[in-house]
Structure formats: C-alpha cells, structure tokens
Amino acid sequence: MVEGLDRVRVIYLVFAVLAAAPVAIYSFSRVRSKKMSLSKLEVLNTFLRVTHKVMPLGFGALFHVVPSEVSKSNKVTVRMKVPNHLCIGPAGSGGMPLSVLMSLFDDISTWSCVTSEAKKRPGVSVFLEAKWRATSDGVPPRATILPPGREVRIESSMMKRGRQMSFMNIECRDDKSDELLAEGRHTKFLPMGFGYEFLFEHLFPFADLISKAVGKEGKRNDRLIEGASKKSIMSHIGELKWSEDKVGVAEATFKVLPIHKNPMGGMHGGAQSVLAQLAAEELMKGTKVGVKEMNMTYMSMGKGEVIVEASQGGSGDVKVTLRRKKGGGVVSEGVFNF
Ligand SMILES: *[C@@H]1O[C@H](CO)[C@@H](O)[C@H](O)[C@H]1NC(C)=O
C-alpha cells in the first residue's frame, strides 16, 4: 500500500502547491463561514466529485453508488436497487455474492471516515468482514437474499476513530421491511500525507475549482461507470484456470489489468475479495453449501500477476492467500466460512 500512497501524496502535493499561493489568502478571509455551513452530505458529494475528476476509479466503477444521507454522527446511508451486473448466474439469477456486497461495504464505510474529520481522509483498508444474517434455519440461499432489483439500504456507522485508525460497522437491510440481510466490519489506516490533508482540509472550498483545472479522469470515469454496468462483474474478472496438479488446493494466476486496479494503481480490494471468494468456492466445489461469512486482511499492494490459492484452514474454514507472482509477497488473506 505504501507505494500507492506515495503516488497519491505526490499528486496531491502538486495540487496543493499549484493552488496554495493564490487561493489560500482568499480562502481564509472569505470562505470560513461558507465552509462551516456545508452539510455533511454536501461535503461528501463535493469530495466524491473531486476525486472522480482526479483519480481513476478502476474496479470501483463497478460499485458506483451515491450517498443518500449522512447523519451528524457520520452514519452514511445508501439506498439502492441490487444491480444486475453485480449479480451472478444467468440474468443475475444467482444473486449478489458476499464478496461483492463486502466491496460496497468498503466504499460506503470509507465515506464515514471522510465525513468524520476536517482532513477528510479515506485511508486504506486493513481489514474487512461481511456475513449474511443467520436465522434459526441457518443462512438462506444467496439468490434469495440479494436478487437483482431488491431495494436495500446500506448503513455505515463510525464506531471509533483515532488519529491513525478508524473502525466502522455496516448493515444491509431490506429498505421497506427493515429486515437485516447482512452485516460487516471495516478497519482503515488513515494517514494520507501532507499534500492530501492540506488540500482537503484548508483548500476544500476550492477543491472543485482545482480539480476542474488539473483533473483529467472525470470523462474516463464516466465512461468506465457506464461500461461497467453493461457487463457482469464476473466477465470483468475473466476466466480463471485452476491448477489441476495440486491436491487439496485451488490455485490460479490472475493478471491485474487496469479495470482491476484501485485509484492508487494496485489491485482493487473489491477485485481481491471477489477473486478470493471464487478460489474458496472452487475448493468447495461439489458441496452444496455457500459462503456464510468472510473476511479479508490487506497487507500490501497487488501488482502485475497475482497468485490466488485456497486451502482448508482450521475448524472447517477455507483460507485464501493472494501473493504477487514476482517475489511472492503476500497481498492479502481471506478466511471463508461455509
Ligand atoms: C474471519 O472469519 C473466520 C471465519 O468466519 C472467523 O473464524 C474469524 O474469527 C474471522 N477473523 C476475524 C479477525 O474476525
């Protein structure tokens, strides 16, 4: 993650320097009161508009959603219909996989971080977890929990935030009946570097202007979002060739293409969790059970080619490791409970 952060730092430092001199004085004298009066939802929408212009969305384009509400305590609510392209199977009949829901949890809970402080730091993910709700009959089949078109509400609450770390809890409910469908947790490491923090704290009233001047990604991101929804998420991941010569292991090599990247140029956390779930399911192929809960720990940036490997862990769990093919460094680890 560190290399990616460096790149972001440099980009924002350039912004800050470009913009700082002429606008800082103006900003301090004139816009104080206006800044104070922006609602949290307006602040978040501005943040999203600006990052949309300056950072390539990559795989995030598939999960494009918009915030509906932000409370004073940084609870972010998104109301949405389960989109077809995020479901699997013919015409989405298999419903939305847990790893895809976890990616939505990732983005939405990140917004709780952004609205919770003046520096508006999105940070990087360290740990993510998602579980289907369990009823007395166990977990219902995925296709019945999140079929395409179901109207859901995803809410992220900020549990704790320190200078460096933040902790969010997320819930997914049926928007009409309020029935709890799934829950998640997210831990983030926040520091973004001086350039970013200065721009988003002190020059925020001018962030729109600055991003209009230097941002080149907006149109490309619009096209990405439009294109992303025309293809199913699994076709964006592509075919995987599982090795046949290893017993008790499902292993494949995955080439990280631009569409699989995050804004910092590494493999998107969502692409990692979808890939990890595919490996876990490949290992469990032949059994009827589906994933009940999963979690991922993100350790370093995924680049080039990534090897995904699933094997049986302790107490019936499936453990998945993503490694860089070159050098073998661990990118992330997932644990799946079926
Ligand atoms: C990750 O998920 C596994 C399987 O559900 C669970 O046993 C484990 O406690 C989880 N890890 C954390 C840190 O929550």
Question: Is residue 220 one of the residues assigned to a domain?
Answer: no
Report whether residue 313 contacts ligand 1, using a CB cutoff of 6 Å.
Answer: no
Question: Is residue 73 one of the residues assigned to a domain?
Answer: yes
Which residue is associated with the tokens 């004298």?
Answer: 29
The β-bridge partners of 130 are: 184, 294
Instruction: Give how many domains the chain has, as a whole number.
Output: 2
The Cα–Cα gap between 43 and 205 comes to: 10
Same-domain check for residues 210 and 233: no
**How many angstroms is it from 336 CA to the middle of ligand 1?**
8
- The pLDDT assigned to 191 comes to 94
**How many angstroms is it from 56 CA to the middle of ligand 1?**
32
Same-domain check for residues 62 and 187: yes
Same-domain check for residues 208 and 259: no
CATH code assigned at 59: 3.10.129.10
Let me know: does 337 contact 316? Beta carbons within 8 Å.
yes
Same-domain check for residues 176 and 323: no
**How many angstroms is it from 127 CA to the middle of ligand 1?**
11
Same-domain check for residues 178 and 236: no
Per residue in 211-227, pLDDT (tens digit) is 888 888 999 999 999 99
Question: Is residue 224 one of the residues assigned to a domain?
Answer: no
Report whether residue 317 contacts ligand 1, using a CB cutoff of 6 Å.
Answer: yes
- The pLDDT assigned to 2 comes to 46
Same-domain check for residues 203 and 237: no
DSSP for 117-152 reads: STT----EEEEEEEEEPPBTTBPPPHHHHS-TT-EE
Per residue in 322-334, pLDDT (tens digit) is 999 999 999 999 9
Examine the fold and report which residue of 157, 182, 214 is the final residue of a domain before the chain moves on. 214
Same-domain check for residues 165 and 80: yes
Report whether residue 293 contacts ligand 1, using a CB cutoff of 6 Å.
Answer: yes
Let me know: does 185 contact 21? Beta carbons within 8 Å.
no
Examine the fold and report which residue of 214, 247, 279 is the final residue of a domain before the chain moves on. 214
> 49, 107, 108: which is closest to 76 by C-alpha?
108
Segments forming the whole domain that contains residue 42: 2-214
**How many angstroms is it from 86 CA to the middle of ligand 1?**
25
Examine the fold and report which residue of 186, 214, 242 is the final residue of a domain before the chain moves on. 214
Confidence of residue 140 (pLDDT cuts 50, 70, 90): confident
- Ramachandran quadrant class, 142 (left: phi over 0; alpha: psi -120 to 50; beta: rest): alpha
Same-domain check for residues 210 and 235: no
Report whether residue 292 contacts ligand 1, using a CB cutoff of 6 Å.
Answer: no
Confidence of residue 34 (pLDDT cuts 50, 70, 90): low
**How many angstroms is it from 102 CA to the middle of ligand 1?**
14
**How many angstroms is it from 295 CA to the middle of ligand 1?**
6
Question: Is residue 117 one of the residues assigned to a domain?
Answer: yes
Question: Is residue 31 one of the residues assigned to a domain?
Answer: yes
pLDDT at 172 over 90: yes
Ligand 1 atom closest to 127 (CA): 13
Residue nearest to atom 4 of ligand 1 (CA): 337
DSSP for 157-205 reads: EEEEE-SSEEEEEEEEEETTT--EEEEEEEEEE----HHHHHHHHHSGG
Question: Is residue 222 one of the residues assigned to a domain?
Answer: no
H or E segment at 154?
strand 151-161
Question: Is residue 219 one of the residues assigned to a domain?
Answer: no
Which residue is associated with the tokens 């059970």?
Answer: 289
Tokens of 119: 């520096």
Question: Is residue 223 one of the residues assigned to a domain?
Answer: no
Ligand 1 atom closest to 297 (CA): 13
Same-domain check for residues 172 and 320: no
Mean pLDDT computed over every residue of the chain: 90
Region 16-26 average pLDDT? 57
Same-domain check for residues 121 and 209: yes
* Eight-class DSSP state of 273: H
Report the share of the chain in percent with pLDDT over 90: 75
Alpha-carbon separation of residue 317 from 23, 127, 132, 218, 238 (angstroms):
55, 17, 16, 42, 26
Same-domain check for residues 209 and 331: no
Confidence of residue 240 (pLDDT cuts 50, 70, 90): very high
Same-domain check for residues 290 and 200: no
